[in-house]
Each structure stands twice: as C-alpha cells, then as structure tokens.
C-alpha cells in the first residue's frame, strides 16, 4: 500500500493542531525534575508532553517505567511513526534523534559526529516548524547548552520558552545557557511550570486551528481598515519607547508576537492587552524584544556560502591594492553569527596572500541586546553542527561553556545599533549582506530601503539577499548575477531615486533621562539632601558620604576625617583618591558587590591605624535611586567606628619561643588569631584583585563598544555629508542649465546673452 502524501497525512491528522505540544529537554538531574512536573500536572491537562533526554546509547532506558509512577497519564517510549495524542507523555528511546511532522513522531539515527549530542536542539527545531505558535519548549536540569538554539527556534515561530529555575535544578548548565541567550519567557520551578501549562492549554490562542488565512482572527481588524485602533496604539507605544516604527512591518509577524505576549499575560482580547501595555512600560520593552527575535546561525545555507566565496569574495580580492580596504555591511546582524561567518569566509578566500588588504565589516541591528551579545562573541557548543572542526580550531577559542570568536576575527567587525529605515547608511561598500530582513517589510518599505542600499554600494559592489527576497520592480538599481543564490550587482540607473534618511532617532539608554523631558517641563536637580535624610531616618546616622556612579562625592554627613582626606596636589572629590589606603580596597570591593546585587553590603571588623593605636571600623554601602526613572545609581557609604581603640600588638614571628620553654596558652591563642587574621587578609586581597580585574574587563568592553559606536556614527556622518555634497552639485548644475530658448530659431541662449539682447522673445527652458 502506498504511503500517504504529506498533504493526505495533514488532512488525516488534525489532532496535533488542536492542542499545544510540549517539548521537554533534560539531561543530568532531569529525570527528577520531570517527575516533579508530572506529579503536579493533572491527567486531563489537554496537552501532550514529549521528553527528550541525554541517554546512554548503549543501555536501555527505564525512564518510561519510572515516570509512569508519577502520573495517571499514559507514558510510553516512542516508536517510529507514533501519532501524538492529547494527555499522553512520550519518552525518547536511547541512541536516537527525534523529529515531528504533522503530529507524527519519527525516530532518526543518532549522528556520528564530534562533540556533544544535541538531541534537544534538533527536536525543538522540528517542533517549532510543525507546531508554530502551539509549540512550548521547556529546559530542565542538565549540563552543557543543548536546547538553547531549539528554544530560539520555538520563540521565533511564536511559541513559548520556559526554563527551570537554576536554583531548583540539580545541574544548572542548560538553564543558565538559555537564560544567558535572552530568549526565555518564564523561569520557574517544575511545580510552577505545571501550573502554567494548565493555564496555557485552555487559552483560546493555543487551541484554535491554525490557518494562514485565519491569522487575522487572533487580532480582529474591522473590514476596510488596514490596522485596528488597538494595533495603531501599540505601534505608537513601541515607537515612543524604542524609536522604531513598525507600521510598515508585515502584519502576520507582528500578530504572532502579540499573540505570544497575550498568552503569557492571560489577555484574551487585543483591547485588554493594549490597556496592559499602556500601564506597563516594561511590557512594551518585552514586546519590542519579541518582535525582533530571529533565528540565525553560523554559515546559514552552506551551499550559498560556497557560492559567495567563488562568485563574490574572490572578485573583491582579485587585483585589489593593499591600501584599498574591503568594506562590507551586514544589515540586521542579530547576535553576530552572520558577520563572523562572512569574515571567516573572506579570510579563507585570501588564504596565504602576502599582502592582505584591510577588512572592515560593519554589522548593525536595531536590537541593543543582540549587538551586545555579538560584541562578546561567545556562543554555545551547539555551533559545532554548523562550524567545521577545522574552523573551530582556527577561528575560535574553547571556553568552559562553548566557543569564543578569535580576537583577530573580532577586530575585523564593528558592531553598532543602526536602523536601516531611518539612519544614514554606510558608504563606499563592496558588499552588503541583507539576508532575510526584507521579508519582514511591506512593499512600500522595501522600495524605501533598496535605493538606500544602492546608494551605499560602490559602482561594482554586490548585494546579497535572502532566498525568499528580490529587488522587486526596481531592476534598474541592481542586475542579477546569480538568481539562485540571490547575488546582485549594483546597476547604473539613468535616474537615481530620491533618498530619504535623516539623523538617528535612537536615544541611547545611557543618556540622562532629564535630556528626554518634553519642552516646557521644569528640569530640577535631584534633591540629594532630602533623599539622604530620608534614608538616614532608619539608620544610627553615623558619618558618611553620597557618591554618584562615577564615585564622585556629592554630599557628606558627619565627620569623615579619619577615613577620607583631601589628597595632596590638585583638589579632587573622587572617593578612592580621598579614602585611606587601609580601607580603599575593602571600599572598592563593597561598592562593586552592591552594584551587582543591588543590595546593602556591610564590611565589618576592618582595622585602621590612629597614631599608635588600632580601631575597628564597619563600612556599609547602600545603593539607591534619586528619582524613580533615573537609571544612574547612587550610593550611601556609612562609616561606623568601634567604641574603643585596640591595644597595639607587637607581633613576633609565628611559632617562635625561647629554647627550652613551652609556649603559653596566651601565645598559642595570639598565634592562632594572627594566622586567622592573615588568612582573612589574604582572602580579601585576592577578592580585591579579582574585582580590579573584572572592573578592568568591564571598562575595556565599554570602551570597545563606545569606540565602535563612534566609528559607526562617523561613517553615517560621512555618508550624510556625501549626500549633501551631491545635492549641492545637483543644485549648482540645475542653476547653470537654467537658460532661455529663442522662439524663432529654438537656439539656447544663456542668461549672459539674454542680458545683451533683451529684445529676443524667449521662454524659460524646462529641464
């Protein structure tokens, strides 16, 4: 009997489209977590659960037998061709990978590959493709990073991403990896996850039959209107906070993201969710991040990269002078994988060339978190499936959690936040990679962006689009060089389109909030006196100071002379320049800890010298905000001295005593106390050195980011200046052509000739 076609299978298996399917990824310690989840899950929850574990390929698994004792739902080990049913639990067998299509599970042979076995990523990606917004991915206890990329795929399709709280996980490697990727919707204990699954299963947006023609039913839009009033309000909120206008983004993508947020916050109508957005700025930021979520990977479409090296990159490097840099722009770079892939491919094309030209790769995105991740260049072990062992060895450094891009590759790439829709473009480029970005824009926005990309390229520059993208009805701007791989060469259009780009509308998160206040509002300096006095109401009011984020003292209370003194030379109010050298290391460490934990930090029992005596000192560091929306942190630093001075001790060498005499108990106690003090000092010194190292690394990252932003801004300004120069030349050219034509002989008469012979009948020439 012939097998059913995919179309027939879909028609015969609508079950998987009527309820959510939950993929659960677990490794070490995961069986216990799955048991806790199933114990709290009612047998009629209305969902199906598929558990993918890291199992020993050479031994049979008892997972199904063990888990069947924790739930009244049927628990079975998966067989090839199993059809997923509601209120069932399915367990992957050992030595297999798993896929799902049209609600039917398929067992795949475990690949013979190097590195970790990434069965969870593989299944989650399959689940995302099949279930779309009805897919739910859960990562439980385990080591490594398997499942992170799978959760990204689920979230990109509108599904939900949930992770076990690392504090409740026996092994927190997998949960931490997903959380660090910034893709997690909920972080919960197994019991809490069960409660949320019950709620999700009954939500109408997860139980309706999916049909591309019915997407608009999720967000009801009156006939005759392109967008509902609620959707317009949402776009306005997003634009006001993120400075990005989503009006001309394709609606189905926006709707899927909004549906996700509605499910998470228990909102059943768009009007309810809109009201929730208006009163919760944090949710506006979360929706903005959701809309920008995208799945990317190293060397996406490997065959296309091979063609890129042969047809594009090889032409760019051929006969290029050493002083002519290769300039590439990766638009919508997300977390950096594509930019680094292009850099690696270009270096492979250059090979062992003795005189290599400079390489400048500008990688931009409108997501600041994505840019920050790209700058770090750290990726999970799962990149092994896309990056060959040779490339991993040559272009990456192995870390405890994955791989870090090599420094010589990182130095080739400049990452910055940039909105291709509104910000001035880069210029004089040899290649623009704009893959799978235009598919999110409507035709009007595509017609706006393509001329900008044309302007940014050199005369022989290339444009590289995604597999589902094209230049549309603008063939004069670009001519096709490879239709299959979407390579285009810059065309020479007889009439250049009008460009519209202005200064960036992006407001840096580091900008002081007072600068963003509407015109007409009174800007008042923070009342540090009032704020500090309110804080001290609950304290003993010891002497102290208030410092800002730059550690400049802006307020003092009480006598701080024993601890803080003006340094010699030029007057400075910097805390660390004024602090006693005995307490400066502990002070720096306490402030850094308070920054990280956003909580009060106490350092007790510090010894300071006063003449020939020692005194104990307690230091407290209290972080606080001067205004509710002020992101700059301030710190109260309180100095609480001990009540009585300590007697000065003359420490003899430890363990020495007169020959023939046994040490007294006092000497032994003094020795032990001194050893304990030295151990504590050594520990504090090591901690202080570590804090200095971390401070230095953080400062270096900030300097690098600032430098890249400045370089990007400089490129944009140069591009804007060139556009202004072009406009100036056009105006001058048009003015010089402005002449008159004789009515009798149709001869062009210049303005100068017209002045000499004003009797000629003339008319103004039409350009």
| pLDDT tens digits along 411-452 | 899 998 888 888 888 888 999 999 988 888 888 888 888 988
Q: Is the pLDDT of residue 383 over 80?
A: yes
pLDDT digits (tens, 9 = 90+) for 283-335: 998 898 888 877 788 999 999 999 999 999 999 988 888 788 999 999 999 89
Question: Mean pLDDT, to the nearest integer, of 108-117?
Answer: 70
Task: Provide, rounded to the nearest whole percent, the portion of the chain with pLDDT above 90.
Answer: 23
The helix/strand/coil state of 537 is: coil
Indicate whether 755 pLDDT > 70: no
User: Pairing state of beta strands 160-164 and 396-398?
Assistant: unpaired
Q: How confident is the model at residue 761 (pLDDT cuts 50, 70, 90)?
A: very low
Judge whether residue 82 has pLDDT over 60. yes
Asked whether residue 217 carries a pLDDT value surpassing 50, the answer given is no
Please give the Cα distance from 414 to 428 (Å, whole number). 16
pLDDT at 431: 95
The pLDDT of 364-391, averaged and rounded, is 89
Q: What's the token pair of residue 413?
A: 């790439």
Contact 243, 507 (CB under 8 A): yes
- The tens digit of pLDDT for each residue in 487-508 reads 999 887 655 556 655 444 443 3
Cα separation of 648 and 651, whole Å? 9
Catalytic residue (choose from 16, 54, 430, 532): 54
Q: Span 540-559, mean pLDDT?
A: 81
Which one from 27, 126, 168, 422 is the annotated catalytic residue? Answer: 27
3-state SS assignment for residue 3? coil
Look at the pTM and tell me if it is higher than 0.75.
no
Check pLDDT > 80 for residue 456. Answer: yes
* pLDDT at residue 216 in the model: 40
Burial class (CB in 10 A: 0-12, 13-18, 19+), 160: buried
What's the mean pLDDT in 741-755? 50
Q: Which of 49-63, 196-210, 596-610, 657-671 comes out lowest in average pLDDT? A: 657-671
At residue 468, the pLDDT reads 87
Alpha-helix residue ranges (DSSP H) falling in 351-456 = 368-376, 389-395, 407-410, 443-456
pLDDT of residue 745: 53
Report how far residue 279's alpha carbon sits from residue 573's, in angstroms, rounded to the nearest whole number.
41
Question: Which residue would you say has higher pLDDT here, 684 or 186?
Answer: 186
Q: Is 168 annotated in the active site? A: no
DSSP 485-519: TTEEEE---SSPPPP---S--PPPTTS-GGGGSPT
Q: Give residue 616's pLDDT.
A: 79
Contact status, residue 78 vs residue 92, Cβ threshold 8 Å: yes
Q: Catalytic site residue 116?
A: no
**Predicted local distance difference test score (pLDDT) of residue 348:** 94
pLDDT score, position 56: 78
| pLDDT attached to residue 290 | 85
Residue 613: pLDDT over 50: yes
Task: State yes or no: is 54 an active-site residue.
Answer: yes
Phi, psi of 99 (to 5 degrees): -140, 160
Strands 21-26 and 48-53: parallel
Query: Could you say which of 117, 122, 126, 146 is catalytic?
Result: 146
Structure tokens at 93: 């067998």
d(CA 78, CA 82): 7
Of 39 and 116, which is predicted with more confidence?
A: 39
């Amino acid at each position: 009997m012939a097998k059913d076609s995919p179309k027939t299978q879909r028609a015969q298996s609508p079950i998987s489209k009527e309820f959510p399917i939950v993929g659960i990824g677990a490794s070490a310690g995961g069986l216990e977590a799955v048991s806790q989840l199933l114990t709290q899950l009612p047998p009629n929850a209305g969902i199906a659960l598929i558990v993918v574990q890291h199992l020993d390929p050479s031994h049979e698994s008892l997972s199904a037998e063990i888990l069947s004792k924790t739930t009244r739902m049927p628990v079975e080990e998966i067989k090839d061709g199993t059809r997923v049913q509601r209120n069932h639990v399915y367990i992957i067998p050992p030595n297999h990978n798993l896929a799902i299509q049209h609600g039917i599970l398929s067992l795949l042979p475990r690949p013979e590959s190097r590195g970790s076995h990434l069965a969870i990523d593989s299944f989650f990606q399959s689940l995302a493709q099949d279930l779309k917004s009805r897919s739910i991915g859960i990562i439980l206890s385990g080591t490594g990073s398997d499942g992170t990329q799978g959760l990204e795929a689920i979230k990109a399709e509108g599904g939900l991403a949930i992770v076990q709280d690392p504090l409740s996980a026996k092994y927190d490697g997998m949960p931490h990896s997903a959380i660090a990727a910034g893709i997690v919707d909920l972080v919960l204990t197994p019991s809490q996850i069960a409660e949320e699954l019950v709620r999700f299963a009954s939500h109408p947006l997860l139980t309706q039959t999916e049909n591309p023609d019915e997407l608009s039913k999720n967000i009801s839009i009156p006939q005759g209107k392109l967008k509902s009033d609620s959707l317009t309000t949402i776009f306005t909120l997003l634009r006001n906070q993120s400075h990005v206008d989503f009006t001309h983004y394709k609606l189905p993508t926006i709707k899927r993201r909004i549906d996700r947020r509605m499910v998470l916050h228990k909102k059943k109508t768009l009007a309810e969710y809109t009201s929730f957005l208006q009163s919760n700025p944090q949710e506006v930021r979360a929706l903005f991040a959701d809309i920008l979520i995208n799945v990317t990977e190293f060397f996406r479409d490997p065959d296309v990269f091979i063609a890129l090296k042969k047809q594009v990159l090889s032409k760019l490097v051929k006969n290029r002078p050493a002083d002519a840099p290769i300039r590439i722009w990766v638009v919508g770079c997300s977390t950096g994988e594509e930019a680094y892939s292009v850099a690696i491919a270009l270096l492979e094309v250059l090979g062992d060339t003795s005189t290599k030209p400079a390489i400048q790769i500008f990688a931009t995105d409108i997501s600041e978190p994505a840019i920050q991740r790209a700058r770090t260049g750290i990726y999970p072990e799962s990149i092994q499936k896309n990056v060959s062992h040779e490339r991993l060895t040559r272009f990456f450094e192995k870390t405890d959690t994955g791989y870090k891009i090599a420094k010589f590759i990182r130095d080739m790439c400049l990452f910055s936040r940039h909105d291709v829709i509104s910000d001035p473009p880069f210029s004089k480029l040899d290649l623009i990679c704009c893959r799978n970005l235009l598919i999110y824009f409507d035709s009007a926005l595509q017609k706006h962006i393509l001329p900008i990309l044309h302007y940014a390229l050199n005369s022989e520059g290339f444009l590289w689009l995604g597999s589902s993208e094209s230049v549309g009805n603008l063939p004069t701007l670009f001519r096709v060089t490879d239709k299959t791989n979407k390579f285009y060469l810059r065309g020479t259009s007889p009439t250049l389109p009008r460009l519209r780009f202005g200064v960036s509308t992006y407001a840096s998160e580091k900008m002081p909030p007072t600068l963003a206040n509407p015109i007409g509002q009174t800007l008042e300096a923070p009342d540090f006196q009032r704020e500090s006095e309110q804080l001290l109401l609950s304290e003993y009011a010891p002497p102290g100071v208030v410092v800002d984020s730059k550690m400049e003292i802006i307020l003092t209370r009480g006598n701080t002379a024993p601890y803080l003194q003006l340094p010699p030379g030029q007057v400075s109010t910097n805390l660390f320049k004024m602090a006693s050298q005995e307490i400066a290391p502990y002070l720096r460490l306490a402030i850094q800890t308070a920054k990280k934990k956003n909580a009060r930090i106490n350092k007790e029992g510090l010894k300071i010298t006063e003449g020939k005596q020692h005194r104990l000192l307690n230091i407290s560091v209290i972080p606080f905000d001067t205004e509710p929306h002020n992101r700059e942190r301030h710190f109260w630093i309180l100095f609480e001295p001990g009540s009585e001075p300590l007697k000065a001790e003359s420490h003899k060498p430890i363990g020495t005593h007169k020959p023939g005499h046994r040490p007294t108990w006092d000497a032994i106690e003094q020795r032990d106390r001194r050893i304990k003090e030295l151990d504590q000092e050594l520990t504090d010194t090591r901690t202080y050195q570590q804090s200095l190292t971390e401070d230095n690394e953080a400062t270096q990252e900030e300097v690098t980011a600032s430098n890249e932003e400045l370089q990007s801004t400089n490129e944009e300004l140069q591009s804007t200046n060139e556009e202004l120069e072009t406009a100036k030349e056009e105006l001058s050219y048009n003015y010089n052509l402005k002449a008159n034509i004789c009515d009798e002989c149709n001869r062009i008469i210049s303005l100068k000739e017209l002045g000499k012979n004003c009797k000629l009948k003339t008319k103004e020439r039409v350009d």
